[in-house]
Structure 1
Amino acid sequence: MKKINLLILDDKEENIISLEALLGDIENINIISTTDPNEALKLCWKNDIYIALVDVQMPDINGFEFVSLLKANPKTSHIIAIMVTAISKEDKYLIKGLQSGAVDYLYKPLNPEITIAKVNAFVKQVIIQEEIIQKNAELEQSKLALIASNKEAEHARKSKEIFLANMSHEIRTPINGIMGIMHMLKNSPLNSEQMDWVKRLDTASNSLLMIINDILDISKIDSGMMKIEYESFNLRDLIEETTNIFRIKAENKNLLLDVIIGDNLPQIVRFDALRLQQILTNFISNALKFTQEGKIEFYIDKLSQKENVNRIQFAVKDTGIGIKPESVDKIFQEFEQGDDRITKKFGGTGLGLAIVKKLAKLLNGEVLAESNFGEGSTFSFIVDIESETENTLDRKKENLQFTELQKLNNLKILVAEDNDLNSFMLAHMLRTWECEVNIVKNGRLALDALEVDRYNLVLMDTHMPVMSGFEAITEIRNSLDPQLSNMPIITISASVMEHEQKAAFEVGADDVIGKPFHPIELYNKIVKACKIQIINS
C-alpha cells in the first residue's frame, strides 16, 4: 500500500525534529515538514497530504488561519488537521480550533504515547477511507461494465428476436403456400400414387414447420414470453388427432403404433391443448425416428384423482436404439443428442426434448426418461389436469374438407398479398366458397382498390413492399367514409411473435390469422368477421 503523506508545520525547527523522531516508527507514513506556513500551503497543493500537524502560534499566519485556508480550498479541504499548541487548554481556544476545521488537539509538552496513538488512529482512518474510495471506484467500474454488458445482452436479444421474426416470416410464407396447395390437391381427383405423394409432402412440410416452431419456442421460453393458455377440450380427441399425424410414417417404417388409453381417463378437460400436443408430438416423433423395427406404444392413464384434478401420465415406449445411462440427462439440453454420431445418422436439431423439459416446468408437470441401451426407451409426462363436469364443447368438424363448407354467397373480398403462391392459393380457396376475389400486391394498391369498388372484407398481409398492411389498415380506419372505416379486416401474418399480432389489433384489425393456416380456420374467421349465419347440417 502507498504511504500516507503527513505534514508537520511548526515555526521552530527543534519542534519539527522532535515530532519526526517521535513519529518515525509509525508504519505507512511519509513525513514532510516545514517552518513556513506559505511553503506548507504550497506543499499541500502539490503533494497528496492526508494529515497535517499544525502549530498554533506562528508569525504571519497562525495555526487557526492556516487550517481555515486549507479547508477553504477544495483541493486541500480533505486534509485532517490536528492542532499542536502550548497555549491554554481553555474551551475558547479549543472551540476556535474546531471552528477553523481542526479535528483534534495535541498539547505541548507532547505525551509520546498519546501523540503516537492519535496519529496512528488517524492514519488508520485515512487507510480505511482510501480503501473505501478504491472499493467504490471498483464498484463503479463493475457497475459500468455490468450496464454495458446488459446493453450488449439486450441488443443481442433484440437482434435475435428480429432475426427469428424475419426467419419465421421468410420461411412460413412459402410453407403456407405449399400447405395450401396440398389442401387443394387433396380435394382434387388424384390416383392412389399421387395421393401418396401429397401425403408425403404433407409430412415433410409439417416436419419443417415443427423445426421452425421449436426454434421460436426456445427463444420465447428463454425470454419469459411463453404464455400458457388454458381451454376446455376433448382429451381423447386430442390423443387420436396427435396419433393420426404419425400413422403414415409408422406404416412406412413397418412399425406398429399402438395407443392404450385407461378406462378412467376423463373426457373433457381444461388444460393447454397446444402445449400438451407439442410434448406428445415430440415423444412420438422421437420414438419413430430412433426405432427401426418393433413397435411404439402410447400409454395414457390416470394415476390419481383429488376432486376434479386428475394426475395423468402420458408415456411413449419404443423398441429403438435406446440411450446410454450417462447420456440420459444430456438429451434434455439444447442442441444436444445422446451421442454426436446420432445427429449424422438420424438428423434433428436437438431442440425437441429441451423444449419438452421447459414446457413441462411451465405446465407444473415433470418429464421422466427410462432407457436400456440397444433395447428401447420410455418417455413420460406426468401432470395434473382439471376435468370438466359438463361437456360444453361443440361437435368437432376437423374431418370436414374445405370444399364441403357452406358457400359464402358471392362475398366480395380484397386480398392484399405480395407472394404469388399465397395469393394464388387464397384465391382458389375463396372462389371454392363462391367468393368474388380481387388481388393486389401491397397496401397502397389495396387503398386504391377500395376507392374504386366496395368490398365485404379485406384479407391484408402484414409485410408488403411500398406500403405495409399495418400502414394500410391505419389509413382505412382513419377514413371519413364510415362504410370504409368500418370495413372488416383480417391480417395474414407469417410472424408468430405476440407483439406483432398485438400490433395488428392495435391498428384496427378485426382478427389475425398466422401462416401457415388451415383452410377451415380461415373460413371460420371470415364467417366471424363478416357476421355470416352458418346453417349447421
Structure 2
Amino acid sequence: MTSNVLAVEGSKTQRAVLERLFSMAGMSAKLLDSTESLQQVLEKTHFDFICLGMHIPGSMNGLETCRFIRDLPGYQYTPIVLLTTSDANTTQSEAFGAGVTDIFNRNEMAELAAYLTRHIERHRQIEGRVLYIEDSVSQQLSMMSFLEETGLQVDAFESGEAAWRAFEINHYDLVLTDIVLPGEISGLQLVHKIRRLGGEKGDVPIIAITGYDDSVRRIELLQRGVNDYVSKPVLPHEVIVRVRTLINNCQLITQLKQQNETVEQQGKNQLAFLASISHDVRTPLNGILGILDLIRSDDLNSQHQKLLDVAMQSGEHLVSIIDDVLDLSRAEMDEFVIEQQPLQIKNIARNVMQNLKPEADRRSLGFTVQYSNTMPDLLRGDPKRLYQVLMNLIGNALKFTDKGRVDVDLDFIPPTLDQPLGVLKGSVQDTGRGIPQVQCENIFNKFQQVDAVARSKGGSGLGLAIVRTIVEAWGGTVGVDSRLGEGTRFWFTLPMELMEVKDHQDLTGHHETPLFQGDELKVLVVEDNDINRLVTGNMLDRLSVSYTIAENGQVALDMLDQQDFNLILMDCQMPVMDGYEASASIRHSQKPYENIYIIALTASAMMEEERKCYRVGMNDFLAKPVLFDNLVKAMNKAYQSLS
C-alpha cells in the first residue's frame, strides 16, 4: 500500500527537494506552496504523513498549521514533521506542544529520508493471526475493524473458555485479551494457561487490556507473563502500535532463529563432509603408515632407513593436515577441547626436533632448542596440542628460512600466590626474509599466506590458524614480530599447572613396552578392510599375540558365542553390522563376554565419533592410522584392566 504524504512549503527549491525525497521513498506526494487550500485538500484525501515548513505563505505558520490539522477528524495520530532553518528560534517544547511529531533542519534531508523509511516500515500491512478476547461486543467489533485494516487475521471470542479451545488447535502470532472476562477462565487465567505450555506456543506474545489504573496490578500482569498492556478506555491506534511492534519483533526473532539453525546445519553438514573425507583418507593411510612402521622396525641399511623415514614423515605430515582441518572445524562448532594430562615439555620438544631436523639438515640451517633453568620436568596440559603448536611454528620457520638458523626458546614462569598457574613461554626465531608489517595482522587467519613466494613453498595455509585456535582455547596468547630482511619471531604463552614427578616416569618415551606376554591375550580383530586387517595382524604377530579375524559385527557376535576372547579390536564402519551396533549388542547380551574389553579402531577422528564409541560401551578409542606404539599402549591398558 502506497503512503500518501502532504508537504506544505513556501520555498520552490525546498518543494523540489521534498518531491524527490518522497518519490525515492515510494510515497505518493501532494505539495502545497501555501495554506490557502489546505482544508479542502485534507477533506478530499487522507494523508498518512505530513511535512510542514515553519514559514508558510498564508494566514498560518507551521506551528499554527499543525494545531489546525490536529483538530481535524482522523489526524490525531498522523506523523507531522516540521522543517526549520538553522537560525530558527522555535523551541522543542513549543513544537511538541503544537502537536509536532519531530523537527528537522532543512540541511538534514538525509535524516528525514531515514525517518520516512522507518515510517513506511512501521505502517506496512502486518502478516499474522491474532486471538482477541473481549466480552463487550461493541468494543470487539470496533477493535476488529482496526486490526483487520492493518492486514491481520483476527479470531474474536467473548469468553476465555472459547478462546482457549481455539488456542489449543490453532497457531496465533499474538493474543490480545481483556483481563476481566465472564466464565471460569478469566483473561489472567488464560495467560497463566498459555505460559504453562512449552515451546513456541507457550511463548506467544500477549497484550492485556486492563481497567485497573494501579501500578501494582500492572506490574503483576508483567510478572504473570504479559508482554504489554493497554489501559481502558482503549485507544485503537495505541493497540495497533503495540500489536505491530510485538508481532514484528517476534517475526524478526523467528527469522533470526531460522537463520541461525540454517548456519548451524551448514556447519554440521560441513563437519560431516570433512568427517567423511577424513575417514576415506585415513583408511588407506592406516595401511601405508602401518606397513611403513612395521618395516622400519626391521634391520635396514642406513640408506633404506633414511628413505623409509622420509616416507613416514610425509605420511604423518598428511595426517597432520587432515587433523588441522578437522580441528578448525571443531573450533567453529565449539567442539574444540584442551585436555588436561601430565606432559613433559622436553620430551615433546625433543620429538618435534627429531621430526624436523632432517629438513633443517637438508637446508643446511642451524637448529637449536634452549630451555630456561626454571623449566620443570612435569606440567599439566595437552601434550598433543602443544606438539601441534611447536610443529606448526617451527616447521613454518624452517620452510621460510633459506639460510642462517632457527632457534627455539622455552621458558617457564613459576606460579605465585597471586597467580596459581605457571606460564609456559615459547618463541621461534628465524633468520628468514621476514613478513611485511601489514601482513602480520592477518597472518594467523585461515588460508592466509604472505605472497606468491610464500605460496610457492607449499602448505595448506592452516598451520598458523590452528596455532591461534589452540593457544586461545588454552587461555594463552600468540603473536609475531618481524622485520623485512632480518627474520621473524613467533611467540606464545600457555598457562599450565605445575606437577610433581613420581618415580621419574617418562610420559612420552620413544617406545611403548608391552606389559603382557603374547599368550596372555586372545584378540578378536573386527575389520572389513583387507589392508587394515593385514596391518593389524602384522602388529599382533610382532607381539606374539593370538588373534582371529571377523569381517563385520555380525560375524564377531557369532565368533564370541563359539570361542573365548579377552580383547576386541573393533572397527566402527562396516557392512552388515557396524562396530557401534556390535558393541551395544555385546554390552546388552547378558552373556559371559558382555564385559569384554573393546578398543575402537576407527578412521573417523571426529570428537562425536569418539563420544559415540564410549556411549555404546567401548573402553578405548584409537584413530587411524594406528601406529605400533599407540596400539601397544592401548593394549597395555586393556591388559591392566584384566588383572
Band of TM-score, shorter chain? 0.7 to 0.9
* Residue 500 of structure 1 pairs with residue 547 of structure 2: no
- Paired AA for residue 293 in structure 2: H
* Residue 275 of structure 1 pairs with residue 385 of structure 2: yes
User: Which residue of the partner structure matches residue 317 of structure 1?
Assistant: 429
For 1:389 and 1:310, locate their aligned partners in 2 and report how far apart those are by CA, in whole Å: 14
Q: CA deviation at 1:376?
A: 1.4
For 1:448 and 1:533, locate their aligned partners in 2 and report how far apart those are by CA, in whole Å: 23
Within the candidate set 132, 138, 152, 2:262 is matched to 152
- Paired AA for residue 323 in structure 2: N
Q: CA deviation at 1:171?
A: 1.6
Q: CA deviation at 1:181?
A: 0.8
Q: Which has the higher contact order (CA 8 A, sep 6+)?
A: 1
Q: Confirm or deny: 8 A CA contact 1:70 1:77 kept in the other structure.
A: no
For 1:279 and 1:158, locate their aligned partners in 2 and report how far apart those are by CA, in whole Å: 26
Cα distance change, pair 317–26 in 1 and its aligned pair in 2 (3 A): same
Within the candidate set 344, 348, 372, 1:238 is matched to 348
Q: CA deviation at 1:452?
A: 3.1
For 2:311 and 2:245, locate their aligned partners in 1 and report how far apart those are by CA, in whole Å: 65
User: Which residue of the partner structure matches residue 330 of structure 1?
Assistant: 442
- Paired AA for residue 498 in structure 1: M
For 1:390 and 1:68, locate their aligned partners in 2 and report how far apart those are by CA, in whole Å: 82
- Paired AA for residue 71 in structure 1: Q
For 2:286 and 2:512, locate their aligned partners in 1 and report how far apart those are by CA, in whole Å: 17
For 1:28 and 1:71, locate their aligned partners in 2 and report how far apart those are by CA, in whole Å: 21
SS in 1 for 2:518: coil
For 1:141 and 1:343, locate their aligned partners in 2 and report how far apart those are by CA, in whole Å: 48
* Residue 529 of structure 1 pairs with residue 638 of structure 2: yes
Q: Confirm or deny: 8 A CA contact 1:258 1:298 kept in the other structure.
A: yes
For 1:221 and 1:420, locate their aligned partners in 2 and report how far apart those are by CA, in whole Å: 34
User: Which residue of the partner structure matches residue 281 of structure 2?
Assistant: 171
Q: CA deviation at 1:491?
A: 1.5
User: Which residue of the partner structure matches residue 522 of structure 2?
Assistant: 412
- Paired AA for residue 328 in structure 1: C
* Residue 361 of structure 1 pairs with residue 472 of structure 2: yes
Q: CA deviation at 1:528?
A: 2.5
Within the candidate set 187, 193, 210, 2:320 is matched to 210
* Residue 486 of structure 1 pairs with residue 598 of structure 2: no
SS in 2 for 1:306: coil
Cα distance change, pair 309–142 in 1 and its aligned pair in 2 (3 A): closer
Q: CA deviation at 1:356?
A: 1.5
User: Which residue of the partner structure matches residue 290 of structure 1?
Assistant: 400
For 1:300 and 1:502, locate their aligned partners in 2 and report how far apart those are by CA, in whole Å: 34
For 2:415 and 2:583, locate their aligned partners in 1 and report how far apart those are by CA, in whole Å: 50
For 1:511 and 1:448, locate their aligned partners in 2 and report how far apart those are by CA, in whole Å: 23
Q: CA deviation at 1:282?
A: 1.1
Q: CA deviation at 1:460?
A: 0.8
Within the candidate set 139, 144, 149, 1:71 is matched to 139
Q: CA deviation at 1:328?
A: 0.1
SS in 2 for 1:485: coil
Larger Cα-atom Rg: 1
Cα distance change, pair 438–77 in 1 and its aligned pair in 2 (3 A): same
Q: CA deviation at 1:208?
A: 0.7
- Paired AA for residue 506 in structure 2: R
1:406-454 superposed Cα distances (whole Å, 9 cap, x missing partner)? 6422632211111222110100010111112222221122222223322
Cα distance change, pair 274–437 in 1 and its aligned pair in 2 (3 A): same
User: Which residue of the partner structure matches residue 400 of structure 1?
Assistant: 511
The TM-score, its normalising length taken from structure 2, stands at 0.63
Q: CA deviation at 1:135?
A: 2.7
Cα distance change, pair 384–411 in 1 and its aligned pair in 2 (3 A): closer
* Residue 137 of structure 1 pairs with residue 247 of structure 2: yes
* Residue 471 of structure 1 pairs with residue 581 of structure 2: yes
Q: CA deviation at 1:77?
A: 7.4
Structure 1 gap ranges (5+) = 6-20, 31-66, 80-100, 104-121
For 1:281 and 1:347, locate their aligned partners in 2 and report how far apart those are by CA, in whole Å: 16
Q: Confirm or deny: 8 A CA contact 2:408 2:429 kept in the other structure.
A: yes
Cα distance change, pair 282–68 in 1 and its aligned pair in 2 (3 A): closer
* Residue 28 of structure 1 pairs with residue 139 of structure 2: no
1:494-527 superposed Cα distances (whole Å, 9 cap, x missing partner)? 2222222222222222222221233122123223
- Paired AA for residue 635 in structure 2: I
Correspondence 1:104-115 to 2 at 5 A: none
Q: CA deviation at 1:488?
A: 2.3
Q: CA deviation at 1:405?
A: 7.7
Structure 2 gap ranges (5+) = 5-45, 49-67, 78-134, 148-208, 212-231
Task: Report the number of matched residues.
Answer: 441
1:320-351 superposed Cα distances (whole Å, 9 cap, x missing partner)? 22100100011111221122x14531122222
Cα distance change, pair 222–367 in 1 and its aligned pair in 2 (3 A): same
For 1:256 and 1:467, locate their aligned partners in 2 and report how far apart those are by CA, in whole Å: 54
User: Which residue of the partner structure matches residue 309 of structure 2?
Assistant: 199
Correspondence 1:74-113 to 2 at 5 A: 76=144
Cα distance change, pair 192–227 in 1 and its aligned pair in 2 (3 A): same
1:4-58 superposed Cα distances (whole Å, 9 cap, x missing partner)? 99xxxxxxxxxxxxxxx9997356379xxxxxxxxxxxxxxxxxxxxxxxxxxxx
* Residue 372 of structure 1 pairs with residue 476 of structure 2: no
1:275-329 superposed Cα distances (whole Å, 9 cap, x missing partner)? 2222111110101111122111011124565267433321111112210010001
For 2:634 and 2:403, locate their aligned partners in 1 and report how far apart those are by CA, in whole Å: 44
The TM-score, its normalising length taken from structure 1, stands at 0.74
Q: Confirm or deny: 8 A CA contact 1:444 1:472 kept in the other structure.
A: yes
For 1:157 and 1:144, locate their aligned partners in 2 and report how far apart those are by CA, in whole Å: 20
- Paired AA for residue 303 in structure 2: E
Within the candidate set 253, 260, 264, 2:374 is matched to 264
Cα distance change, pair 137–437 in 1 and its aligned pair in 2 (3 A): same
Q: How big is the alpha-carbon RMSD for the aligned residues of Structure 1 and Structure 2?
A: 3.3
For 1:170 and 1:23, locate their aligned partners in 2 and report how far apart those are by CA, in whole Å: 75
